[in-house]
Amino acid sequence: MSEYRLRTEAHLNPHLFDVGIVEEPIRKGYGEGLLLAGKENEHVVALCADLKESTKTDLFAKEYPQRFIEMGIGEQNMAAVASGMAAMGKIPFMTSYAMFNPGRNWEQIRTTICYNDQNVKIIGSHAGVSVGPDGGTHQALEDIALMRVLPRMTVIVPADAIEARKATRAAAQHKGAVYIRLAREKSPVISTDDTPFTIGSASLLWGGGAANVALFACGGLVYQALRAARTLADMNISSTVVNVSTIKPLDKKTILDAVKDARAVVTVEEHQINGGLGGAIAELLANFHPMRMEMVAVKDQFGQSGEPKELIHEYGLDEEGIVQATQNLLSRLC
């Protein structure tokens, strides 16, 4: 009954709400995108800190061994080496787990890449609690905040493998520092090759016009937000869902359009509640359109071991958590 609310211009996966929706790791899209970018531009080089297979950088490394630099476990060095390569005209993609890149090498990213205005792409894989059994040490929940605060940094959080592929190619063509956040676990493929992607554009996926609530989501949780929108519709709560794949710079127009006729805002992200997507939206709205918000995010705590789905549920980030948060918010408004 609710399918008509999906925006046709978004060209989403027609099987979006099927039980057996195809799932792929978002990082796989990165690997494919990097390979394409390497084919399109000989200046593209890849650096990886001893994780080329699990970050899917191996696809590029196999095809272009002479343009692949194995860095070993040295993320600080990796950032500054990438800066040096960019100074000579290369377009380096440097890859590791988000916990270490940008977690461990933040100062090198700030000074040698951003302050220095070098054209380096920072790829942080295995972000969020959906890393699963590895536990809290490996579940980066602070990386969006770390990157968002840096002048000159563009921050992209692809919603699925297809968007990751497009974002990677776009990052290679974009001049300047870019951070792309990836996840380990397989995620539902919600988009198609025809789904538009441009750096700096958020996209309306569901609803539009007057709605009870505007849902802003990023990463693999966009799927959960869409499911929540469908469930809310069944409860006669109308919503719009916006995929904010570029968190910096924010797509001010699309976001303000989405909240214009809404009563409340809910943000959804697999990140700490402080400093991430929710924070970015709150900063924008505080300036231009103050309104009540609820942030679905990890609430100032660390993750733990478990299956990805268990953890997403435990921290209230799934469809159920989003519906609950929306209801709570709306009840407070009454």
- Site of interaction with other proteins (CB under 8 A): 45, 66-67, 69, 71-72, 74, 76-77, 79-90, 92, 107-108, 111-112, 115-117
Q: By C-beta, is 2 or 116 nearer to other proteins?
A: 116
Q: By C-beta, is 69 or 282 nearer to other proteins?
A: 69
Closest distance to other proteins from the beta carbon of 100 (Å)? 13
Closest distance to other proteins from the beta carbon of 71 (Å)? 7
Q: By C-beta, is 71 or 122 nearer to other proteins?
A: 71
Closest distance to other proteins from the beta carbon of 42 (Å)? 9
Closest distance to other proteins from the beta carbon of 312 (Å)? 35
Q: By C-beta, is 62 or 332 nearer to other proteins?
A: 62
269 is catalytic: no
Q: State the catalytic residue, choosing from 75, 185, 269, 270.
A: 75
DSSP collapsed to 3 states, the chain: CCHHHECHHHCCCCCCCCCCCCEEEHHHHHHHHHHHHHHHCCCEEEEECCCCCCCCCHHHHHHCHHHEEECCCCHHHHHHHHHHHHHCCCEEEEEEECCCCCCCCHHHHHHHHHHCCCCCEEEEECECHHHCCCCHHHCECCHHHHHHCCCCCEEECCCCHHHHHHHHHHHHHCCCCEEEECCCCEEECCCCCCCCCCCCCCEEEECCCCEEEEEEECCCHHHHHHHHHHHHHHCCCCEEEEECCEEECCCHHHHHHHHHCEEEEEEEEEEECCCCHHHHHHHHHHHHCCCCEEEEEECCCCCCCCCHHHHHHHCCCCHHHHHHHHHHHHHHHC
User: Would you please indicate which residues are annotated as catalytic (active-site) residues?
Assistant: 75
